[in-house]
Structure 1
C-alpha cells in the first residue's frame, strides 16, 4: 500500500502556469463541461478496464519519451472516486508505475477524493480541458469518459472530442461511452489520437457480462450520445443494430448452449451479413462485440 501522506500530484484546482502555457487553458481557465449526476456503483467500469488492457496493453505500458509519465485519465468519476481507484489497481497490473488522474468538474467531489491521492494517483478540478501542469510537461496516454456526454446535446460531442484531443499524445486513446447502472451492458466509441490533434474512430464496442439474457435491442439504451439519436432508417447505427437483431434471430437455436454461445454465433452471422466484426475469441468469449469502423471523428 502506497503512503497517502504526501502527494506529488499538484493542486486540485487549475494552476496558474497551466492556464497560461497550455493551449486549451489559454482559451479559458474554467473547467469545460457540466456536473454529472455522480452516481457510480463499485466495479461499474471493470469491464471497460479489462477491455482496454486487451485492446492496447502496449499503450498502458509505454514508457518512451513523453509517455514515461503520461496519465490514464478517468474523466467525470462522480461523487466517489471508486472508478479511478479501481482503474488504477487494474491497469497497474500491466504498468506498476502508471500515473492515474481522476478529473471532476465539481469542487466538492475533488476535495472529497484528496485523501485517496498519492504520488501517482491524482484528483483535480477540470473538464474536457484537462487540468494538466504544462510547466511540468504532463501528458495523457488515454482518457476514459463514461456516462459523461449522454447529458449533453449531440452537437456538443464533436467539440468535447476536439478539446480532449489537445491533451492526448499521438497514438493515445479515447474510450467514450455509456453503461447501465451496474456496468452489465455498455457501448463505447474507441478513438485513436492522430497528429494534428485529430481523432480516428477505430471501433464501436458492445459489452455484456452475460448476467442478463442476450438481446441486441437492450444495447440501444446505452448507445453513446453520437449514436443514440441516429437510430433512424438510413443511419449506419440503425442498420447495424437491425442487422444484429436479425443475426440473433437466425442463430436463436444456439441459445440452447447458453447466452455466451448465442452471442458468439450471432456475431459470426452479423459478420457474414457484412459488418466488420472482430471474430477473435478473446473478444466474443468475454462478451465484447468489437465493430471496426476506422473513420475520422
Structure 2
C-alpha cells in the first residue's frame, strides 16, 4: 500500500508528462456508474470544496466521458471546473472544439498539469489497468501528493459499455474503499466482475488473498439470496448486501446505493497482502 509523502514540489516548466499513451477506447455513458457514485455518497466533497476542480485523467481517444462528467457534476456544483487531461497531444487537439465554460482540455499525465492548484477530485478510469502491477503504487502516490486536503483520487476499471465496473477511492492518506457496480442481468455471479478489478487488486484474486475471499463471500450470499430471486435481481442484490453486512464485512452506504447494483466495502477488507 502506498505510504504518505510530503507535498510535491512544483513541476518544472516543460517537464515531460508522467505516464504512457494508452489504448484510449471509450463509449458514451461508459462511466455513468462511477459518476453517480461521485455525485451521491461523495457529493459533499464537491459541494464544500474551496476550489471545485475535477480532473478527468486519461479520458482517451474521445472526450465523451469528460463532457459527460462535466454535465453531471455541474448539476451538483454549478461553478465546478472539469479539465480533461491526456498525454497524447492529438487527442487534446481533437477535444478542444468541445471546450466551454467550466470544461477544458490539456496535455499531461499523472503529474496533474494544473500549476498552483490542487484538485478536489481526480478520476482515472481504464488507465492504470494498462500499466504493470509494479507501477500503480508510484502513480497513486504522485496523484495523492497533488490532491487538495480531503481530496479524492478514483482509480477504476469497467467493461466497454459500463455494465461492470469497479473503483478504488484513494484519499491523500491512501486508499479507503473498493466499490463494485453491476448492471442487473449483465452477470450470473458477483465475482464475474473479477476481470474488471483495478490494477491494485486484479492480480491478487487468488486463494488466500483478501479480495478473493471477498468475492467468494459475495457469490455465497448471492446464492443464498436465491429465494427472493422471483421478486427480481434488485431484491436479490439487496438481500446479498444485508447478508454481507450481517456477516461482519465493512459494507458502506445502504439500500439506496445497493438497489443500483452497487456495493462498497472498506479497503482493509480487500487490500493486498
Per the normalisation by structure 1, the TM-score is 0.84
SS at match of 1:143: strand
* Alignment partner of 1:121 out of 80, 93, 103: 103
Q: Which runs of 5+ in 1 are unaligned?
A: 1-21, 194-198
Deviation string for 1:60-81 (max 9, x for gaps)? 1224xxx23x410111101111
Mark the CA change 1:274 to 1:30 in structure 2 (over 3 Å): closer, same or farther: same
Shift of 1:214: 4.6
- Structure 1 position 238 matched with structure 2 position 212: yes
CA contact (8 A) 1:184 1:211 kept: no
Mark the CA change 1:279 to 1:124 in structure 2 (over 3 Å): closer, same or farther: closer
* Alignment partner of 1:288 out of 247, 259, 262: 262
* Mapped partners of 1:288, 1:102: distance in 2: 26
* Alignment partner of 1:56 out of 42, 48, 66: 42
The equivalent residue for 2:28 is 42
CA contact (8 A) 2:30 2:161 kept: yes
* Mapped partners of 1:279, 1:125: distance in 2: 36
Mark the CA change 1:37 to 1:257 in structure 2 (over 3 Å): closer, same or farther: same
CA contact (8 A) 1:113 1:123 kept: yes
Task: Tell me the matched-pair count.
Answer: 264
Shift of 1:294: 5.5
- Structure 1 position 252 matched with structure 2 position 198: no
* Mapped partners of 2:214, 2:101: distance in 1: 45
- Structure 1 position 98 matched with structure 2 position 102: no
- Structure 1 position 131 matched with structure 2 position 113: yes
* Alignment partner of 2:135 out of 112, 136, 156: 156
Ranges of 4+ aligned residues in structure 1 off by more than 4 Å: 294-297
Deviation string for 1:127-183 (max 9, x for gaps)? 10111132xxx2200011100000111111110011101211010111111001001
Q: Which runs of 5+ in 2 are unaligned?
A: 1-7
The equivalent residue for 1:11 is none
Shift of 1:211: 4.2
* Mapped partners of 1:27, 1:107: distance in 2: 17
The equivalent residue for 1:190 is 169
Mark the CA change 1:163 to 1:27 in structure 2 (over 3 Å): closer, same or farther: farther
CA contact (8 A) 2:56 2:66 kept: yes
CA contact (8 A) 2:26 2:61 kept: yes
SS at match of 2:204: coil
CA contact (8 A) 2:82 2:102 kept: yes
CA contact (8 A) 1:179 1:185 kept: yes
* Mapped partners of 1:226, 1:293: distance in 2: 11
* Alignment partner of 2:175 out of 178, 201, 221: 201
Per the normalisation by structure 2, the TM-score is 0.91
SS at match of 1:154: coil
Deviation string for 1:262-290 (max 9, x for gaps)? 11111122222221112611211111101
Deviation string for 1:105-141 (max 9, x for gaps)? 100001111111133211010110111132xxx2200
- Structure 1 position 166 matched with structure 2 position 145: yes
Mark the CA change 1:236 to 1:259 in structure 2 (over 3 Å): closer, same or farther: same
Mark the CA change 1:217 to 1:156 in structure 2 (over 3 Å): closer, same or farther: same
The equivalent residue for 1:17 is none
